[in-house]
Amino acid sequence: MKLVKFFKYSLPIGIAGIVINIILFVTNAYYELVVPVIENSGIEGGLFTFLDYLIYLTPCIFMVLFIAYIVIGQIYMKKVHLQVEDKANQDLVHKNREIQKVLDEKAEFLKHNYYTNCPNCGSARAENEKVCSFCGASLIIEENKK
Ligand SMILES: [Zn+2]
């Protein structure tokens, strides 16, 4: 879940990062700020040329990194959203099954006619009872016995 925090705002952050690095690259601001440090450090020859290029291209490298950050972030967040949706759907299916079960039980209950008094012991039938609460005898009036 830490990755969610990291990628949540990858699009606005990534775009801001790209814009900033485009400005740094076009205006040469980063290069002009850092190159004097290298020049004053006494580095010469091939290493200087390499560092010179590296500093020149640093904003471009960051642009690529920010683009990757956006792309990976979008893919990752899409995946997370699908997982959340999937979980919600599973919960819904589960709830529907439970409701269907209750409805089935109710339908099964309403299918029968019931004695108002127990045919075995004569005690009054309480509401929603299928069997006598005193003696356990069935309170269902069988169709063929009517
Ligand atoms: Zn009874």
- pLDDT, one tens digit per residue, over 108-138 is 989 999 999 999 999 999 988 999 999 999 9
End-to-end CA, the chain? 65
- 108 CA distance to ligand 1 middle (Å): 21
- 146 CA distance to ligand 1 middle (Å): 19
Tokens of 50: 């390499």
- 115 CA distance to ligand 1 middle (Å): 11
Residue whose pair of structure tokens reads 């589960």 in the numeric block: 94
* Rounded-to-integer distance, Cα 74 and Cα 68, Å: 10
Residue 8's nearest CA partner among 110, 105, 78, 89 is: 78
Q: Is the dihedral of CA 78, 82, 85, 87 positive or negative?
A: negative
| Radius of gyration for the chain, computed over Cα atoms and rounded to the nearest angstrom | 38
CA dihedral 68, 69, 75, 78 (to 10 degrees): -160
pTM of this prediction exceeds 0.75: no
pLDDT in tens, 41-90: 888 899 999 999 999 999 999 999 999 999 999 999 999 999 999 999 99
The length of the chain, given as a count of residues:
146
CA dihedral 74, 75, 80, 81 (to 10 degrees): 70
